[in-house]
Every structure is written in C-alpha cells, then in structure tokens.
Amino acid sequence: MPKLGAEPIRRAALVKATIEAVGAAGSLDVTVAQIARRAGMSSALAHHYFGSKEQIFLAAMRSILTLYGAEVRGALAMAQTPRDRVQAVVMGSFAPSSFRNEAISAWLNFYVLAQSSAAARRLLAIYQARLRSNLLVGLRPIVGLRAEAVADGLGALIDGVYIRAALAGGVLDRRQACDLVLAHLELELEGVQ
Amino acid sequence: MPKLGAEPIRRAALVKATIEAVGAAGSLDVTVAQIARRAGMSSALAHHYFGSKEQIFLAAMRSILTLYGAEVRGALAMAQTPRDRVQAVVMGSFAPSSFRNEAISAWLNFYVLAQSSAAARRLLAIYQARLRSNLLVGLRPIVGLRAEAVADGLGALIDGVYIRAALAGGVLDRRQACDLVLAHLELELEGVQ
DNA sequence: GGTTGTTGATTGACGAGTCAATAAACATGT
DNA sequence: ACATGTTTATTGACTCGTCAATCAACAACC
C-alpha cells in the first residue's frame, strides 16, 4: 500500500475531509479520528503530517481562502471599468465554489476560531484586508472619499448574507444572495457616473 | 449557609457567568466547572439546577434574546411614524446592552450552535422572525412591496456588522456600527416619502 | 539499510454527569 | 418550647467516556 510521494495527496485528502466533516457537523467539534477516517487513513497519520489538530484546521482554512482568492482574481481579470471591478469582487465572493454549504459552515466556524486563535485571526485579517482593498480600487474612482464607507458596508453585508445562508441551510439561493448585495451596490452608486 | 429561595439567584448567576465565560473564551469550549466557579458555586450545583450543559447555554441565550427584545420594544414605544419605527428597530439592535463584547461573542457562538442544536436553531429563528416582522411593519407603509427585500437586506447587514464587531474586539464603535446600518436604510428610503 | 508511509495500541488528561452525604430551613404534632 | 420528619441547598469524590498525541513496530520502496 505505501506509495511514495503520498504526502501531498494525504494532506489534500485531509484538508478536503476536514472541510466536509466541519460542514457535516456544523461545528469544530470533530475529532481527528473522524477526519482521518473520512480521508481513508488512521488518526496517527493525520498527526504525522500535520502535527496537531489546529494545524489541520488552519490548512483547511488556507485552502478555502486560496480558492476564494482565485475566484475573485479570475472575475477581476475580465473587468474593464472600475464599476466592473467592484461587481467582479462581489460576484467572485458568491462564486459556486465559495458559496456552498460546506464552505459557508467552515467560514462561520473559523470566525469563531479567530476569537481564540491568533493564527486563525491573522488568516482572517488577511482575507478582510484583501477584500477591502479589492473593493477600494474599484470604488475610489467612482465615489472618491466615500469609498471606505461603501467598502465597509459591502463587506459587512457580504458577511451577513453568508451567515444567514449558513442558517438557511441551502435554502437561500446563490443568485438571490448575490443579487441582494449587488442591489445594495447599485443603490450606493446611484447618481454617480 | 443554605438559604431558601436560592434557585432564581443561582440560575441568574449561572446565566451571567456563562455569558462572561463564553465572552472571555471566545468559544463554547468552556467547562461547566469554569462557569460554576465564576458564579461562585460547585459544578454539581450547576448541574442540579440546569440538568445539562446545553440547558445552561440555552438559558444564557434566552436571557440575551429577552434583553434584546426589551430594548427594541422600548425604542419602538417612542416611534411615531413608520420611518421612526424602522429606525427604532435598528437602533434598538445596537443598544449598548446588546452591542457589547460579551453579547456579540455569544451571538456568534450561538449561530454556530444553531447549526447542530435544534433547540438553538428554534430560538434563533424566533429572533430572526421577530426582527423581520418588526422591520416589515415599519417598511410596508413606506416602500410597499419592496419591504421584504429591504428587510432582508437590513437583517443581513445588522448580522454582518455584528460579526465584524466580534472580530474587531471592541475597536468598532457602537455609534459607527449603528450609523452604517442607518445610512443604508436612508439609501433604501431615498426618494420615497 | 535508510527513508518514507502506515497503523494498532497506549497514554494521559480532561470533562460531563451522578451520587451519597451533610446541613440548614421549614413544617407538624405535642 | 421541643422533638421529628421533610424539603431545599450544597459539595467532594467518583465514574465513565472521549480524545489528542505518542510510540513501537511493520511494510514498501530506493
């Protein structure tokens, strides 16, 4: 059974299994054994590759964040006008790969983790700073000094829609969620440009 | 030492200690013993009065929800116009007694708990329905059919501001948070009435 | 033969919930 | 007043389960 070069495969499997397990349980109260079993290995191996439970969680979080970042970057690539850019950031935030039950549940739980883990807090801060900065680049040419306020509103609204989606448990449509935020954006940009 | 009529006092002390402990830890991973000690009693007594850890948490949640409800009702009492009503609901949501670190942290954690506990989910649904209904009463006379959409946006925004406040850890000013939501409301009501 | 992959078994700690025992307050009959 | 029984308050000690982390050992590959 032991194949060489297993490490990256095992790590990826564990990250995937962690996201699934957290999504299924709806909380971080999942044991390393559960995650490992879901990934088709023993808990000892999970510890072997990640060292500790927290490291496993953080790796999962990094994975989600990376995916999200790629999605936003992809959407931004096609944007022409500043307005396009802002819309791209919002729509990227609601891309199917990010706006799905498991990922949403993970987000919610990692928000909680960030309250007690400095490493998680750092990671989350990076995401928030990136979102804010992405929004500001598009917003400043349109609304000038109001950009910061608008970006904060958009950020909070996106977060809020995400939590509500976590509770709705899949009932809340992706398109609907995205449209709600975009509608707010339209309102903010009304009259300008 | 045993005084009669201790039950309500003990229960209240436990609820208070629970909110404090959860706020301090930033998570629900607090032991019954920790809570009990903070409330000045043994863990056995906590179990005696509440039966289980989950019951203690739910009681704490109910307490927060009650306080919040009272705050909103108080604000509504002074409202004259429909517009006043909507603003009152928003401002009630940011009353100092609700918008404080401990309570915000509790909210965040109870959101997570709601993902796995039916009882918690029920409680949270009650709050959301009440908020929505309170908003709708004020909104319908002003924006008619758009009321539902506006209420959903406001609800999500309030939730989002709350989470962000949890992470900011007290840096985010209460007034600022409230103003952000009120500004969004103004935008939605612009042009009407 | 050393590196890499892998596991079952074990350890050590912790925590929820139970229980038996103690003590104060109250009630009742005398 | 006082003995007696009942309810309420309270805790220390204990049980039982769980879980993260470690370890010793084994398997495959180079």
Buried residues in A2-30 as b, exposed as e (16+ CB within 10 A): eeeeeeeebbebbbbbbbbbbbebbbbeb
Taking CB atoms and an 8 Å limit, are B163 and A115 in contact across chains? no
- Please give the residue range of the domain that contains residue B85: 54-189
Q: What is the largest CA-CA distance in chain B?
A: 66
| Contact between the CB of B44 and strand C at under 7 Å | yes
A152 contacts chain B (CB < 8 A): yes
Task: Please compute the mean of the pLDDT values over residues A170-191 and round it to a whole number.
Answer: 90
A179 contacts chain B (CB < 8 A): no
Task: Please compute the mean of the pLDDT values over residues A159-167 and round it to a whole number.
Answer: 93
Q: Encode pLDDT of A34-76 as tens digits.
A: 999 999 999 999 999 999 999 999 999 999 999 999 999 999 9
Task: Please check whether residue B182 lies inside any domain of the structure.
Answer: yes
**pLDDT value at position B53?**
97
Task: Please check whether residue A167 lies inside any domain of the structure.
Answer: yes
Distances (CA, A) of A150 to A50, A119, A136, A162: 40, 28, 9, 18
Task: Please check whether residue B22 lies inside any domain of the structure.
Answer: no
**pLDDT value at position B169?**
73
Task: Please compute the mean of the pLDDT values over residues B102-106 and round it to a whole number.
Answer: 94
B160 contacts chain A (CB < 8 A): yes
The per-residue pLDDT of chain A, averaged, comes to 93
The per-residue pLDDT of chain B, averaged, comes to 94
Task: Please check whether residue A44 lies inside any domain of the structure.
Answer: no
Residues in chain A: 193
Task: Please compute the mean of the pLDDT values over residues B111-116 and round it to a whole number.
Answer: 94
Of residues A171 and A118, more confidently modeled: A118
What residues of B are in contact with residue A159 (Cβ under 8 Å)? 159-160, 163-164
CA distance B90 to B186: 12
Q: Does A138 score more than 70 pLDDT?
A: yes
Of residues B81 and A191, more confidently modeled: B81
**pLDDT value at position B162?**
94
Task: Please check whether residue B89 lies inside any domain of the structure.
Answer: yes
**Residue B44: which nucleotide is closest by CA–C1'?**
D11
Phi–psi pair at B78, nearest 5 degrees: -90, -5
**pLDDT value at position A2?**
47
CA distance A183 to A161: 13
Quickly give A52 CA vs D7 C1' distance in Å. 51
A40 contacts chain B (CB < 8 A): no
Nearest to B160 among A25, A116, A156 (CB): A156
CA dihedral defined by B28, B159, B133, B61, rounded to 10 degrees?
Answer: 20
Q: Encode pLDDT of B24-63 as tens digits.
A: 999 999 999 999 999 999 999 999 999 999 999 999 999 9
CATH of the domain at A68: 1.10.357.10
The alpha-helical segments, DSSP class H, found in chain A are 6-25, 32-38, 43-50, 53-77, 82-93, 101-114, 118-143, 147-168, 174-189
What residues of A are in contact with residue B115 (Cβ under 8 Å)? 26-27, 105, 108, 166-167
**pLDDT value at position A1?**
45
Rg (CA), chain A: 19
Task: Please check whether residue B38 lies inside any domain of the structure.
Answer: no
Nucleotides of C under 7 A from a protein CB: 4-9, 14-20, 23-26
Secondary element (H or E) of residue B165: helix B147-168
**pLDDT value at position A163?**
92
Q: Does A87 score more than 70 pLDDT?
A: yes
**Residue A8: which nucleotide is closest by CA–C1'?**
C5
Domain count, chain A: 1
Share of chain A above pLDDT 70, in %: 96
Quickly give B155 CA vs C16 C1' distance in Å. 37
Task: Please check whether residue B69 lies inside any domain of the structure.
Answer: yes
DSSP state of A145: G
Query: pLDDT band at A3, cuts 50/70/90?
Result: low
CA distance A13 to A60: 10
Nucleotides of D under 7 A from a protein CB: 8-13, 18-24, 27-30
Distances (CA, A) of A87 to A83, A135, A139, A141, A172: 6, 9, 10, 14, 20
Among chain B residues, CA nearest to A169: B115
**pLDDT value at position A193?**
60
Q: Does A122 score more than 90 pLDDT?
A: yes
Q: Does B92 score more than 80 pLDDT?
A: yes
**pLDDT value at position B117?**
94
Q: Does B158 score more than 90 pLDDT?
A: yes
Task: Please check whether residue B78 lies inside any domain of the structure.
Answer: yes
End-to-end CA distance of chain B: 64
A44 contacts chain B (CB < 8 A): no
Quickly give A3 CA vs C2 C1' distance in Å. 17
* Residue corresponding to tokens 């983790």: A113
Tokens of B80: 């004259």
Of A15-19, A32-36, A133-137, A188-192, minimum mean pLDDT range: A188-192
